[in-house]
Chains A and B, each alone.
Chain A
């Protein structure tokens, strides 16, 4: 495995980095969509995640990487073991960041009949697919807008239900598949269907930096990395480590972060002002604001967090005419200023 570009060494793109970190603090936010110009470090940032996330504990031998503590989200096997009162062994493994290659076939994604066991032993056994591997981790789809429609449908369905149901080849299997969907793409090459758009918790637009110094910096760091990947990563290891520690602490304290009623009201007001469909907007806004507060070491969510997270949480949920060109980010910004007053 080649060494990934260090997360903290990515120049600029702060909103994208923040969105990914927040999704890592609270996976229930529901994924990040990164849309923008080519060559802006979208893929790099997501791949850098792998080295950044703290390890998680899993049941040894479980093919779905079940959590030894949380029973509700365990697979049938683990639950059966627990109900029989058996003690489950656990081990620490890195959080999976699974790439969904555009060429993947459907059976590799959902899982299928285990060919080897079928051939060798004549047994009908289920072989888990990518969705099982991504359980409790991240599923990354590059060029998500180019993915075939039937696969997109499938991903939406599983991401929403947190469970993968396989009914094929005489197999009938269901297993947990709770993952954060991270999609990236370039809108110039095709748009994402609105149904899928809404399923992503946060949406970030990335743009090429316009000032010269930043652009030079991008090229310079890339050059340093290509010359000596290991050395370059080492110089950024301390910064990466700091972020990792903040992440761990944020996850631990997430549940304890207070969400005052006043802030909830503000969130609802903001969503009403923008006319977002459904309640998903409010929910995401609250969760993201709480995750942000946890990440910043605050014990209570304030307007400050709502303000900062409003654009990524809401910009893709505005009811829009597909032809309406007015910038969604600007609309959110305006609504925020109206509600909270100028920054």
Chain B
């Protein structure tokens, strides 16, 4: 491998996008900012014609800039509303880069989705209705770690999903701009015969991909690959590429094993220990050797094999339910599982005031306030000084500024002790209490997340979501029994609370436990060390300063749980008195 290749990972995917940017919609580029990502972007840019627009979208772009709106300078100069083209319209026919896409608001994501769907911007804002072409391809730069992810609706509309942090397969020599240009010409003629199409769609189904877009994107990608190879019809190799970049990263399940002979083949490399490490130096299982022979094997099976090879090791482990301790690597390739909704300040109208100290002038309201007085003021000014040259008469009283309301969403994190000691008596009751709390969260439109701990570790059962159906499902599926790794549970809660807070929301923790830890942080049994670890975790949780409620699930109020509550600065509530309603009103009081 030469140095140049090493610097431009996943260049095949860049070439695919360069062939048919509009049809493929774009790329979800998962990677930390750094030279690898820059190299990939540079490679893509080199493959596109020189005059293609290349626009970078800031994270908190205002709608006026994104979709277009009123041109302030021109409006004031001419005395009538003048429209201004937005960034998306300016990027027509080109590439739009969305930085830090994992933090994009769902509203912006929805607007981008609409534009991707139609190839035009259509907006009605600031007293104008307009539409202009915007045939763009979007590159969502996803720097998310942990539960942060690109809004699912947008991710679904981007054909190629690339994870630069995952080990990538060897791809062969990089393609040149001339090859790509030729492929662009050829693309329209490339045919795909029914057998290949059916195999692609079947592979999508086998991987549990619900969206019909995935199949269509796979077809487009396969055709682009064929065009790159100078072919007029899609071959198995092209289909393999499409699966690697389009279908495999979207997988939500492993295909049912076709027969008994297979299961030994792919998994051995991805043993749980390896998956937990997600070692980047580990070269991907050699895909080229695998798909060369076996001309008699059905194409679909080949594609599924290829996809399995392309799935990040951690995801594979997660899908097989082998190791759920290391979520960091597991969420890497999982597209569209979660979309945390983050509500930043939203404008809530305008009020009179001057744009000082960071306040933003609300132009429309200002002009609107000035509008009815124009004739009068002009007449007055003319009478007073004979000045008539000004088009618009704006006075200080007219100035309006936009008010923003920082609506901080609340995420209620349930930390459930599902260990044997708790489960025996109370798990069912605890679940009941949680369910009544969930109903409350529903009414308040809170997000909820569920962490369960038992056996040797904690597990995020439900990342923050508003979907109660999923919350309830994850609770119903919570098994009980095993040791009490209390420290691990509290650590997981702290971790999640930090993630929630990073997203701009307020975290509220509800811990349901009997406080009797018997598994230490390192996963070894031992009551004493476990208790010490749990207290330490509790104190560190207290340092975070989240509102916390501890519900004691033991039959009688215990000292252990009370000490724990004290350590984590939580409100203590014993379940015997905590009928469901009591718990839910306690939570309400806690959030203030």
Contacts and interface: CB of A to CB of B under 8 A. Distances in A.
Contacts of B200: 219
Contacts of A208: 210-212
Given A38-B213, A124-B372, A223-B216, A323 B23 contact: no
Interface of A: 2, 37-41, 43, 99, 101-105, 107-108, 112-116, 118-122, 124, 127, 129-130, 142-143, 146, 148-149, 169-170, 186-191, 193, 208-210, 212, 215-216, 218-220, 222-223, 226-227, 321-323, 325
B111 A103 contact: yes
Nearest to A100: B124
Contacts of B214: 39
A119 B216 contact: no
B192 to A, nearest CB: 8
A226 B23 contact: yes
Given A122-B372, A187-B467, A323-B468, A146 B210 contact: no
B124 A220 contact: no
Contact of B153 (A149, A186, A209): A186
A105 B126 contact: yes
A169 B125 contact: no
A215 B212 contact: yes
Contact of A119 (B117, B210, B392, B465): B392
A216 B364 CA distance: 50
Contact of A323 (B63, B67, B435, B445): B435
A180 B537 CA distance: 55
B59 interface: no
B179 interface: no
Contacts of A222: 216
Nearest to A99: B122
A212 B469 CA distance: 28
Interface string B337-370: 0010100001000000000000000001001100
B221 to A, nearest CB: 12
Contacts of A39: 156, 210-214
B215 interface: yes
Interface in B536-559: none
- Most chain A CB within 10 A, of B118, B119, B341, is at B118
Nearest to A189: B339
Q: How large is the interface on B (under 10, 10 to 19, 20 to 34, 35 or more residues)?
A: 35 or more
Contact of B210 (A37, A142, A323): A37
Nearest to A220: B197
Interface stretch (B89-97, B201-209, B313-321, B492-500): B201-209
Interface in B439-456: 439, 442, 445
B79 A119 contact: yes
Given A39-B210, A39-B214, A127-B127, A2 B118 contact: yes
A226 B120 CA distance: 16
A105 B70 CA distance: 13
Contacts of A325: 469, 472-473, 476
Given A103-B66, A118-B368, 19 more contacts: A2-B119, A38-B210, A39-B156, A39-B210, A108-B129, A116-B81, A119-B81, A119-B367, A119-B374, A121-B375, A146-B341, A169-B368, A189-B106, A189-B339, A208-B210, A210-B205, A212-B202, A218-B216, A323-B439
B169 interface: no
Contacts of B127: 107-108, 112, 114-116, 127
Given A191-B468, A208-B210, A227-B188, A103 B123 contact: yes
A269 B439 CA distance: 30
Contact of B212 (A43, A101, A148, A218): A218
A174 to B, nearest CB: 20
B403 interface: no
Given A218-B212, A219-B201, A219-B219, A113 B125 contact: no
A223 B219 contact: yes
A104 B346 CA distance: 13
B466 A191 contact: yes
- Most chain B CB within 10 A, of A104, A129, A170, is at A104
A101 B153 contact: no
A109 B466 CA distance: 27
A43 B122 CA distance: 15
B412 to A, nearest CB: 14
A325 B476 CA distance: 11
A121 B373 CA distance: 10
Rank and list the top 6 A-B pairs by shortest CB-CB distance, nearest first. Answer: A39-B211, A118-B371, A122-B375, A39-B213, A108-B124, A190-B466
B110 interface: yes
Nearest to B371: A118
7 contacts: A39-B212, A116-B80, A127-B127, A191-B467, A208-B211, A219-B197, A325-B473
A208 B208 CA distance: 11
A156 to B, nearest CB: 16
B205 A215 contact: yes
Contacts of A115: 81, 127, 364, 367-368, 371
B510 to A, nearest CB: 16
A88 B229 CA distance: 65
B574 interface: no
A187 B152 CA distance: 12
Contacts of A187: 467, 469
A122 B211 CA distance: 53
B107 interface: yes
Given A127-B127, A170-B372, A188 B470 contact: yes
Contact of A120 (B23, B80, B204): B80
Contacts of B373: 122
A322 B63 contact: no
B438 interface: yes
B346 A322 contact: no
Contacts of B211: 37-40, 208
Nearest to A101: B123
